[in-house]
A and B are shown apart, each in its own frame.
Chain A
Amino acid sequence: MYDLAIIGAGVVGCALAYELSSRDLSLVLIEKENDVAMGASRANTAIIHAGFDPAPETLMGQLNVEGMRRCYDLCEELDVEHRKTGSLVVAFDQEQQRTLDVLYRQGIVNGCQGLEIIDGAEARRREPNLSPEIIAALWAPEAGVINPWEFALAMAEVAVRNGVVFMPNTEVVGLEWRGDHYQITAPSLTEPIRSRYLVNAAGVNSDLIHEMAAEPAFQITPTRGEYYLLDRTVGTLVQSIIFHSPTEQGKGVTVSPTIHNNFLIGPNSEVIEDRADTGVTRSGLSHIGEVALRMVPSLDLRSNIRNFAGVRANSPENDFYIKMSAANFLDLAAIKSPGLTCAPAIARLGADLLEKTGLPMKKKTHWQGGRRVIRFKEIPEEKRAAFIRDNPLYGRVICRCETITEGEIMAAMQREIPPVSIDGVKRRAGTGMGRCQGGFCGPRILEILARETKRSPLSIEEDGSGSLILTSETKKGCDRG
């Protein structure tokens, strides 16, 4: 019997697991996919939002600035890649300029610092590649970029180090309240999981999980956002995050640097039927391209190295749904943008709500926090020789485009939640992120994964469950039996 089960190992579930891992509780983190951060947490704009966008009366508005500050602290504590870049919301006409004023006032109420409305010339002085048609912009110095899946992973790793059980490949299909605990069923389980408390952090499926335990109360409208990822060869297009002035469809298209000095362009916003449909479309991509080019005319989309899409857990109420909805049942639901930024604050609020309903929050006597990652590229040139002498595997480059070494891959294999797929290695070590998109390093990583996990290469997945790469062995000549 667990004290608490969290359904969904996205950034919200991981943040709560991290938050509660310091308490004297037995916890399980249940995930339907084969890894942490497999939903919206992996496919988003990778931004730490400053906090001017959501209206002050919403939960989003109340949690954003707290979440943003906590994000930066956690990134330092857990060695998560991030960079404070600041952001600009740009306006092309009078109406959009009035929107900037609204955002500015909201930001002040929400607690943002350093907000500033500047004219077009000043915007172009700061970002020379911005369009000459931009007449004004809202500058928010506290915004930044983050490695979103590393953020979720880092929190989950510390949670697991401190006793939280991570249960991947477990898709919850039934919840039953048994008077003092929930019984949780999944096709992959021979015995149901039992837990006194339950947290719904199921992202785009959070309404479905909610309805297994409580009366329908909210609805998710799965909303897909598509992206371009541009190669570093485009140079420094912009140094800060550039938002188009928000529209009814959301914050609008963004041109943003990434922590790896690529550029991310997107998203659009399209309500879709199929919650798992992360496909990209010709029309979606061309729309994003047009808006991005309007903001940064020198942008060259031919340097694209990847398109992807994420499905956001939007709701008609346009706010998070955070509530004790049934006996010992907490919803951390309908978490859409700025959910990544808010995750640590959502976790804090969730913990408070659980405590109020009687979950004991006694501190553990020994809790091991912190996390350090060795990234070869960050080792200064003069120290490289000595470092490789002591750690020879850091001298063997596996991913050529991003200069990721076997040492980094092996370190990822030894972490609390080891990768099981090629993309699992990618999310931890950064392999295959570059211009060849894993063409060269894929086969070598597959070989390392098979070797280290003692599995057949035929069982290695590219990404999620079932995404097998190899289908059989080739025909053998007689000399090979």
Chain B
Amino acid sequence: MADPYQMLVIGGGPAGLGAAISAKENGLSRILVVERDLELGGILNQCVHNGFGLHYFGEELTGPEYAGRMTGRLEGSGIEILCDTMVLSIHPGQDVHRVCLMSACSGYRCLDTETIVLAMGCRERTRGAIGIPGTRAAGILTAGTAQRYVNMEGYMVGKRVIVLGSGDIGLIMARRMTLEGAKVLACVEIMPFSGGLARNIVQCLDDYGIPLLLSHTITEIGGRSRVERVTVQQVDASLQPVEGTERYFDVDTVLLSVGLIPENELTREAGIAMDPRTGGPLVFENKETSIRGIFACGNVLQVHDLVDYVTEESEEAGKAAAAYVLGKATAAFAPPADRIIDVTPGKGIACVIPQKIRLDRLEEKIRFFFRVSEPSKTPKRVMLGDGERVAASFRRPWMAPGEMEHIKVDRSTLQEMQGEILLLTIED
């Protein structure tokens, strides 16, 4: 067998590309990126709207433009790319890991690598996951599938549309369908708040006069071969439909934007520890998973709102993987960490990344990404601490689950913390 790769990246979307480029910049030379689609770029390719790259590139790009910037940086890098290739399994080992993959042109084979970066992205929750009653007529699609048909294949998926769920892709598609001549009657959200970005609610719904029905859900889908009508009802505090609030919408299309699930089947099969809160692997401060030399970044780790943060996160993962490979060569690598602290979401916090930090491995500053579990319109304080001391805190005028937040802490402050648990909480 050939020399092992230094890094094998699973997924050629923004996360995978960010990790590969950063690993290259940090000294690795034998890097392979495996992408299952025909071209690199991942889901960015079907996001033809703009608004990408403001934080990272300092300008507003479309999805394909953002992907183009990333792939442009590959040129002359020597990073190997395999498209139209599917990874079937990961086999963790002591020194090297093995990845088995397959494609039509190069067949089935297994490759050895010193590190793996998981960058498989996420998928959409489906109707089955939420169990909407009614028929199984055509015209019920996830917003992302509709986006692919409209933006990449050049076909419309309906004329009169209702959107269930107010996730960002649903909001974006409400606007897209409208621009393509369809009538979007409403966006229906079961929660009393939207799961999407505030700017998307303004720019995709408000600007086009599409009503957002909060605390409502679809309780029945009717239609034999194609959707004909849906029933929408208000829900009570326990999310149960309220009788007598039925409203009927004659639509031929239901777009679902009811959440994203990190795509971690390979991760689970490889035996990597998972965090049920994020749906992704548990990671340390450097995005390393519970298995040495396997890292994770992007939406496979946690669902992000902005691709800019995906890029930053994957650069950290790529850099850490490079440090792992090069550190091993100098034999100074990985003495057992003296102290590992668990970072736990407390009151008001839905999830936090990283979930574990090794105090002797920290960079000078460390960022914790998190989401709140419910929106607050009054100013609240976010606090990270060990119960006695506060490591960091900041105030926000408002917060919402739809917006990923982060808190930055100095290494020295973290090292002063006592105990084995750090709690992230929201206080009044």
Contacts and interface: CB of A to CB of B under 8 A. Distances in A.
Q: Indicate whether A and B interact.
A: yes
Interface of A: 228-229, 233, 276-282, 285, 302, 304-308, 381, 384-385, 387-389, 392-393, 395-397, 400-401, 403, 406, 435-437, 439-440, 442-443, 447, 457-458, 461-475
B129 A305 contact: yes
Nearest to B84: A396
A385 B144 CA distance: 33
Given A470-B155, A474-B154, 6 more contacts: A435-B123, A463-B225, A470-B156, A470-B157, A472-B156, A475-B181
A472 B105 contact: no
Contacts of A282: 133, 219, 241
Contacts of B100: 381
Nearest to B159: A471
Interface string B216-247: 00011110111000000000000001000000
Given A395-B107, A396-B104, A276 B224 contact: yes
Contacts of B127: 306, 437
B138 A279 contact: no
Contacts of B109: 385
Contacts of A458: 155
Nearest to B219: A282
Contacts of B139: 469
B222 to A, nearest CB: 8
Place the interface of chain B in its size category: 35 or more
A330 B241 CA distance: 49
B156 A474 contact: yes
A260 B53 CA distance: 42
11 contacts: A228-B131, A276-B224, A307-B131, A384-B102, A388-B102, A401-B265, A435-B126, A443-B145, A471-B252, A474-B155, A474-B180
B108 A467 contact: no
Given A471-B157, A474-B155, A465 B102 contact: no
Contacts of A305: 126, 128-129
Contact of A397 (B102, B141, B157): B102
Contact of B149 (A306, A400, A443): A443
Nearest to B227: A467
What 8 pairs between A and B have smallest CB-CB spacing? A466-B225, A467-B138, A384-B108, A462-B138, A396-B104, A397-B86, A388-B107, A305-B128
B86 A467 contact: no
A395 B225 contact: no
B142 A304 contact: no
A280 B252 CA distance: 19
Given A278-B135, A282-B219, A437-B128, A443 B105 contact: no
Contacts of B105: 392, 395
A285 to B, nearest CB: 6
B88 interface: yes
A389 B104 contact: no
Contact of A442 (B145, B156, B224): B145
| Interface of B, helix, strand, loop or mixed by DSSP | mixed
Given A285-B131, A389-B107, A392-B104, A447 B153 contact: yes
B102 to A, nearest CB: 5
A395 B123 contact: no
A388 B107 CA distance: 5
A306 B128 contact: yes
B144 A280 contact: no
A304 B133 CA distance: 13
B134 interface: yes
Contact of B124 (A302, A401, A439, A469): A439
Contact of B126 (A276, A436, A457): A436
Contacts of B103: 395-396
Contact of A395 (B102, B135, B149, B159): B102
Nearest to B103: A395
A285 B152 CA distance: 37
B218 to A, nearest CB: 11
B84 A403 contact: no
A396 B150 CA distance: 24
Contacts of B102: 384, 388, 395, 397
Contacts of A465: 225
A113 B159 CA distance: 58
Interface in B241-271: 241, 252, 265, 268
A400 B129 contact: no
Contacts of A436: 123-124, 126
Contacts of A307: 128, 131, 133
Contacts of B142: 439
A442 to B, nearest CB: 6
B133 A467 contact: no
A468 B157 CA distance: 9
A376 to B, nearest CB: 9
B86 A304 contact: no
A303 B46 CA distance: 28
A468 B134 contact: no
A305 B157 CA distance: 22
A308 B107 contact: no
Interface in B139-181: 139, 141-142, 144-145, 148-150, 152-159, 180-181
Nearest to B87: A397
A403 B138 contact: no
A464 B224 CA distance: 9
A363 B125 CA distance: 53
Contacts of A470: 149, 155-157
A471 B158 contact: yes
